[in-house]
Amino acid sequence: MNQKFEGIIRSIGEIPESTVLDETQRFEADLDVDSLALMDIIVNVEAEFGIEIEAVHRFATLGELWQQVELLSAGAGI
């Protein structure tokens, strides 16, 4: 994960800087990020990284979303 990605997660999910983020954390259970906030995170990640994430993907953890960002970013030449 990188700082831009983590910044989006923290800002929209209202997660304090004191909370250490790692790829195993679950959006809802560990970070208290509901489905509406997760959609907002995805939209902001798409805009920041210049990618489009298919609506059929379901992301339970930070790592799952970050892996998709990396995969799509590599294909976009970013």
Find where tokens 């210049």 sit.
Answer: 50
Average pLDDT over residues 21-30: 96
12, 40 contact by CB (below 8 A): yes
The pTM score is 0.89
Q: Quote the pLDDT of residue 55.
A: 74
For residue 33, name the pLDDT band (cuts at 50, 70, 90).
very high
Task: List the domains of the chain with CATH numbers.
Answer: 3-72 (1.10.1200.10)
